[in-house]
Copies of this chain bind each other. A is one copy, B any other.
């Protein structure tokens, strides 16, 4: 057997006989056919001599492209699912918190981890100041929060804005030197369910592509709504 498969110049007569009796071995095997055609091409210095060759080359590259695309689609579907299941973990954790302090705590501990962010800040401006023992809950003036919302083009319908242009990041202005470097940020409007206050949630990431403007914001919009509802519930319970 060894001899039969030795890289000899010519095919052994036994193997030849077998191949002639079983042409489908080769004809049904894509890889062998591919190899035969590639070697034949190399022999002729790769010069394309036939329209079929051109078509062949194109079909082959189309096949490769589609294979790649297919793999990407599978991986995108998987990431979508992973994204949905992480979003659901966040929603349940947010709903489980029974007061404002606990809500802010969970945002700056568990939620920041699930979302793989570097920083979460909640800007708040109500009729009365709300004092919490958490440095990431920041009371600011109503005019200032309205200015931020205008420049970020946040409205009742557009709840999320992503930004990856590092010179324009809001987190740059409020975080100090020792904070983690932020290269992209998401701003979520939390005003959907109340007129009594204005509030913005800012998520910052150390990766430039994490909150890229081109990304979809469907999941962050849901998160904004869920946090808005809970914020309204907890704020009204303070009164």
Chain A contact residues, CB within 8 Å of chain B: 1, 4-5, 7-11, 14-16, 18-40, 43, 50-56, 58-60, 62-63, 66-67, 69-70, 73-74, 76-77, 80-81, 84-85, 88, 91-92, 95-96, 193, 218, 222, 225-226, 229-230, 233
Contact = CB atoms under 8 A, between A and B. Distances in A.
B73 A77 contact: yes
A14 to B, nearest CB: 7
Nearest to A40: B27
A23 B39 contact: yes
A192 to B, nearest CB: 10
A186 B50 CA distance: 59
Contact of A70 (B30, B32, B58, B73): B73
Contacts of A233: 233
A30 B51 contact: no
Q: Choose among A33, A63, A85 the residue with the greatest number of B CB atoms under 10 Å from its CB.
A: A33
A91 B222 contact: yes
A55 B58 contact: no
B37 A52 contact: yes
A88 B85 CA distance: 12
A143 to B, nearest CB: 29
